[in-house]
Homo-oligomer: A and B are copies of this chain.
């Protein structure tokens, strides 16, 4: 398949990037069932580290095996597969070139009860991503965490290194911590702000959570009311978040969160797609089902995005 006008247009927004990075962005956009549409569905599997192995893989024990996930991503026609070092390293040589890999560079386990600012450990590096033939690095920031500055600084350095190495930068931007209420973590102003921050930090692809009909910050509330920014429907909110990422000139994708029923998942995806999102990242809802069911669900999701 040769490049489509839409992919050409998207690549044109990243004109300051090197041919190496553009080639990897091309790979992400030209792989799988959504190739050429400008939309992406990515399979991420970092829950073994984040929540522990049994909570992640007991529902579908095939998932204890790192090969299961990369095979699932390939068979389902995903655009990319994202995971921490161990999972990527276990399959990188055997599946080299078959699907773009996103090496998740920081991770957080559930084993500390330490209070204070949310922060993840940096568990790998750009040079490991290069060694393993990855197309992108992934990094999570927690805007609203009191440790956010350290995270922005670490990301800035990794972003510079990644771009110099011709990689794409994917940022998980999850507001969390002392600067925001629990409920406000997915408020629409906060989600839009999270997307803007990731974009200003140089992300090529930004992952946020679907935003709620709620405006968290008092200063922002005045503006949302004065300019009557529509936030009633999920599609409207998604549209505002995408606009907040350089007027839609940065790729913004949405996560699904906790595992839930098929109908709920698809209903949410429809709203997200209608709002102009560039796609979805879907982990537990995919790998915790039996393989055939997962492939069916992912196919339905991709259909919504135009596959």
Contact = CB atoms under 8 A, between A and B. Distances in A.
Contact of A179 (B54, B107, B111, B199): B111
Given A85-B200, A202-B86, A223-B54, A113 B178 contact: yes
A149 B119 contact: yes
Nearest to A246: B66
Interface in A89-116: 89-94, 107-114
A24 interface: no
A243 B56 CA distance: 13
The 3 closest A-B pairs by CB, nearest first: A86-B200, A65-B247, A15-B93
- Contact count band on A: 35 or more
B16 A89 contact: yes
Interface stretch (A190-198, A272-280, A298-306): A190-198
Given A120-B149, A202-B85, A220 B93 contact: no
A109 B125 CA distance: 26
A59 to B, nearest CB: 7
Q: What copy number does this chain have within its complex?
A: 5
A46 B58 CA distance: 36
Interface stretch (A1-9, A31-39, A139-147, A263-271): A139-147
Contact of A148 (B52, B109, B132, B249): B109
B148 A243 contact: no
Contacts of A125: 156-157, 160
A58 B223 contact: yes
B15 A249 contact: no
B197 A112 contact: no
A153 interface: yes
A123 B156 contact: yes
Contact of A156 (B124, B227, B229): B124
A112 B148 contact: yes
Interface of A: 13, 15-17, 48-49, 51-55, 58-59, 61, 64-66, 84-87, 89-94, 107-114, 119-125, 127-128, 132, 143-146, 148-150, 152-153, 156-157, 160, 175, 177-180, 189-190, 192-193, 195-197, 199-203, 217, 219-220, 223-224, 226-227, 229, 240, 243-244, 246-247, 249-250
Contacts of A109: 143, 148, 193, 197
Contact of A200 (B49, B144, B227): B49
A179 to B, nearest CB: 4
B246 A64 contact: yes
Determine which residue in A15, A54, A64 has the highest number of CB atoms from chain B within 10 A of its CB, and name it: A54
Contact of A54 (B58, B90, B227): B227
A77 B243 CA distance: 27
